[in-house]
């Protein structure tokens, strides 16, 4: 995959590719639209397709500026749904910059592992 996409991959953190998950980062929605279009065209020219049902975006607002407030994020002509948070490589990333969901998720996962292990240890 890296060989096929080497010419369009940006540097980390602007573009991260792991197996079949791609994270594109830009400062504006227009920029994301442009990146999505390049990726769509490149992948389709190689016989691959971006899943329109699995594609979503997360907008992080670190300042009060309104960049591209009227621009919709689209893949081809389909509007991409916006999420408040999403999971990538085991970490939950929230658009507001908080880490609460990720901390709760990790605590729960730890407790589940403890329950599995303690069931074996108690016998």
pLDDT digits (tens, 9 = 90+) for 23-67: 888 888 898 899 899 888 988 888 888 888 888 888 887 666 666
| Any domain includes 40 | yes
| Any domain includes 8 | yes
| Any domain includes 118 | no
Q: What percent of the chain has pLDDT over 70?
A: 76
pLDDT grade, residue 86 (50/70/90)?
Answer: confident
Domain count for the chain: 1
| Any domain includes 105 | no
| Any domain includes 50 | yes
pLDDT grade, residue 73 (50/70/90)?
Answer: very high
| Any domain includes 43 | yes
Residue 93 in this model has a pLDDT that exceeds 60: yes
- Measure the CA angle with vertex 90, ends 34 and 53; round to 5°: 45
| Any domain includes 54 | yes
Task: Tell me if 8 sits within 8 A of 38, measured CB to CB.
Answer: yes
| Any domain includes 90 | no
Which residues are CB-contacts of 64 (< 8 A; sequence separation ≥ 6)? none
Domain range holding 61?
2-83
């Amino acid at each position: 995959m890296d060989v096929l996409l080497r010419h369009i991959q940006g540097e980390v953190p602007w573009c991260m590719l792991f197996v079949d998950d791609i994270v594109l980062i830009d400062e504006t929605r227009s920029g994301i639209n442009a990146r999505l279009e390049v990726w769509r065209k490149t992948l389709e020219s190689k016989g691959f397709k971006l899943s329109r049902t699995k594609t979503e975006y997360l907008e992080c607002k670190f300042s009060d500026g309104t960049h591209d407030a009227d621009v919709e994020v689209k893949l081809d002509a389909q509007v991409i749904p916006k999420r408040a948070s999403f999971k990538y490589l085991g970490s939950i990333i929230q658009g507001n910059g908080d880490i609460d969901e990720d901390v709760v998720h990790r605590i729960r996962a730890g407790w589940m592992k403890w329950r599995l292990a303690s069931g074996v240890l108690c016998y």
